[in-house]
Chains A and B, each alone.
Chain A
Amino acid sequence: DAGVIQSPRHEVTEMGQEVTLRCKPISGHNSLFWYRQTMMRGLELLIYFNNNVPIDDSGMPEDRFSAKMPNASFSTLKIQPSEPRDSAVYFCASSGPLGNQPQHFGDGTRLSIL
């Protein structure tokens, strides 16, 4: 079992650039989640998909953020244009469809916007 795979592990870029974070969920999991972890706001849910369909994107901070899940094995989180306040660790997680099924997290992408 390869687990949830995120890339890149680290990203440093300048303000205004486009940033794309990638996630490969565990095979057979049909729910996928994107989280952001900061010191100020803890672990906050940005968006989650079920069967590749966005179910709840109420946590997406603003229009600069977008997420897609073109198929069951791949998702992206894009920030365009990026700002220094977007600096955080971004986690992707996957699980079965129900709330009583634990989520499996990737190791995160540490994003620094200069």
Chain B
Amino acid sequence: DQQVKQNSPSLSVQEGRISILNCDYTNSMFDYFLWYKKYPAEGPTFLISISSIKDKNEDGRFTVFLNKSAKHLSLHIVPSQPGDSAVYFCAASYTNAGKSTFGDGTTLTVKP
């Protein structure tokens, strides 16, 4: 049973436009959510996170939105840049436990 799902394997957007990556989870006990970005031949790197007590967190061009009732979060990138082309992983965790559960990732391609 996959507890964190990223239903879109890939997304393609034009440079300068908004990219929206989506993530759904099934376990309502998760209370912390993270997004990671991964380039080829490298490990994932942390991008942005959000606690379940918030519904939005912003860091520059990146904003994460959390809808707890729908068990859904999304990552918005505005404006998208070609350097944002990567695989994006959504992860969910419990604050008091170390491990995270990852989605399968969404490959974002930003076209110049």
Contacts and interface: CB of A to CB of B under 8 A. Distances in A.
Interface of A: 4, 31, 33, 35, 42-45, 48, 50, 55-56, 91, 93, 95, 97-108
B105 A105 contact: no
B43 A43 contact: no
B51 to A, nearest CB: 7
A99 B36 CA distance: 14
Main secondary structure of the interface of A (DSSP, over half): strand
A4 B45 CA distance: 11
11 contacts: A33-B99, A43-B44, A43-B89, A45-B102, A56-B99, A95-B98, A99-B94, A99-B96, A100-B93, A102-B34, A104-B46
Given A91-B43, A105-B45, A106-B43, A99 B103 contact: no
